[in-house]
Structure 1
Amino acid sequence: MKNILTLLAISLLSLSCSKRDLVYFSDIGTDTIYTTPIDSVVEQRIQEDDLLSITVTSLNAESNMLFNAGVLMPSGGNVNTVVSTPINESYLVDKNGFINYPVIGQINLKGLTKLEAVNKMSLLLDEYVQDPIINIRIMNFKVTVIGEVQKPSTFIIPTEKVTILEALGLAGDMTAFGRRENVLVIREKEGVRTTTRLNLNAKNVLASPYYYLQQNDVIYVEPYKTKSIQSDSNPRTFAIFTSIVTLLTIALFQIGN
């Protein structure tokens, strides 16, 4: 009877307890310097549904008015330089990759980096503006973090550059039930949706092409099985489970004496 109770207690405890590694990059020793080249940064490319802020600066106020919506203001200390300050002005990239820009009309910017887009627009504006300075920003660059994090949400990133660790930081980090060794990243690119899983306990994730996130990436943090069991069961079930383990422990102690 004692052996049977012991085996039953061990089985129940093994179901309720599991070893979890809650440390990021736990394979990096405390006395180790780990280095990896930063070559996994992928420059963002303009895609459909992006909202672009496009401003044009030149020496000619009239030319600026053609391509900027807003109020003309002096630029810095040079009274001869005038810029137009946009007021909530943005251009939507349609499903075919085009924006509708003043005077010029339809411009296809899909798939271009910001530098490539600036160079393309400079050539198009050269007919109307002398030596234009063009600035392009993605206004709705966003990533979404859901699952076992403190504050799941969609976050607008003004710098257009964010790592998976920074995104988790914006979401308040993982809860104790988040599976750090199996974080899912969902990415859409050129009409194709791909998924990959990252082990944030391992240092090699620092060299992953998914370490730096891209526009519209979704990060899903899965829960451990114990959390899944809790969500599928009511509190009364766990109260009964705990009581059984307690009674078995008492019985074993009494039999041992």
Structure 2
Amino acid sequence: MLIILNSCSTRNLIYMSDLHQEGAITEKIQNAREPRIQPIDLLSITVSTLNPESNLLFNSGVLASIGNSQGQGNTPSQLNQGYRVDNNGEINFPVLGKVQLAGLTLEEATDKMVQLLEKEARNPIVNIKIVNFRITVVGEVANPSTISVPSEKINIIEAIGLAGDMTPFGKRENILLMREVGEERTTVRLNLNDKAILDSPYFYLQQNDIIYVEPDKARALQANSGRVNALFYLTLLNSIAFIGLQFGLFNR
């Protein structure tokens, strides 16, 4: 009976429940960080110049599609799969060859590519995106899934919302975040009941982050309902036997 009663204890299901209930609070954001390019990232890099021939040369897939005009089933969208950042943090770009981009923000990488391309073409305009920017949310959420993030900016509450929000069984005070950068893996526990999460360096997610929402004891007991039922019936039988013995003693 104690086990059953313990599973029915109340839990705080409110995000950042310690925020003031009235009035608006304005604070400067201190923890927003731009994502940095990492090894194994896939980058989309487009280059625009004043020279149409240079545009064909620097944009991946265009030359291949023209050379394949006889038609072998390939299209520019199929061929333009992006530039993979290798384990050394480099991409292999037309004309430029190996270019080190790992560790740079998208803005820094764009500036670097512009400086390098200015030696090959006039007034180059470069746009870089991380094609494989995605996060994974699993555990006690309505729709566990891997989510692509085209804007390359997402926080942990947005990610959980895209996964359908947490179920009532999800531990909002004990969210596990797993992050891999290079050869290092970081795991951290986050409390979404506490408004301090807004200032956490882990509030804004990085590419390939994994969020695990741990279930509470009630869900564990529900998953093992056979054991709970057995305990309940055993307790009930013991109670009946005890009452029977008591009445038997009184009758004597």
Instruction: Tell me the TM-score normalized by structure 1.
Output: 0.81
Secondary structure in 2 matching 1:64 = helix
Seen in structure 2, the aligned counterparts of structure 1 residues 215 and 12 have a Cα distance that, compared at 3 Å, is closer
Aligned pair in 2 of structure 1 residues 194, 158: CA closer, same or farther (>3 Å)?
Answer: same
Structure 2 regions of 5+ residues with no counterpart?
64-75, 248-252
Shift of 1:197: 1.0
> Structure 1 residues 18, 137: CA separation in 2 closer, same or farther (over 3 Å shift)?
same
| C-alpha separation in 1, matches of 2:26 and 2:236 | 49
1:238 aligns with 2:228: yes
Where 1:200 maps in the other structure, the secondary structure is coil
Encode CA deviations 1:175-234: one digit per residue, 9 max, x unaligned: 111000000111122421111111101111111111110111111111102212332x2x
- Which residue of structure 1 lines up, in the alignment, with residue 106 of structure 2? 114
CA-atom RMSD, angstroms? 2.5
Which amino acid in 2 is paired with 1:229? L
- Unaligned 5+ runs, structure 1: 1-8, 73-85
1:67 counterpart letter in structure 2: F
The reply to whether residue 183 of structure 1 matches residue 175 of structure 2 is yes
Task: Determine whether 1:31 maps to 2:16.
Answer: no
- Percent of pairs with identical residues: 51
Give the AA of the match of 2:27.
T
Return the structure number with greater strand share. 1
Q: Deviations over 1:45-85 (max 9, x none)?
A: 1111111000011121011111014569xxxxxxxxxxxxx
What is residue 136 of structure 2 aligned with on the other side? 144
Separation (CA, whole Å) in 2 of partners of 1:218 and 1:135 = 27
The equivalent residue for 1:103 is 95
Question: Would the alpha carbon gap of residues 239 and 229 (structure 1) be closer, same or farther in structure 2, given more than 3 Å must change?
Answer: closer
CA distance in 2, matches of 1:104, 1:16: 63
Equivalent residue runs for 1:126-137 within 5 Å? 126-137=118-129
5 Å-filtered alignment, 1:74-223, equals 87=77, 88-223=80-215
In structure 2, give the amino acid aligned to 1:169.
G
Per the alignment, do residues 94 and 71 of structure 1 end up closer, same or farther by CA in structure 2, a change over 3 Å counting? closer
Query: May I ask how many residue pairs the two structures share in their alignment?
Result: 229
Does the 8 A contact of 1:37 with 1:207 survive in 2? no
- Taking the aligned partners of 1:228 and 1:220, their CA distance within structure 2 comes to 16
CA distance in 2 between partners of 1:12 and 1:198 (Å): 27
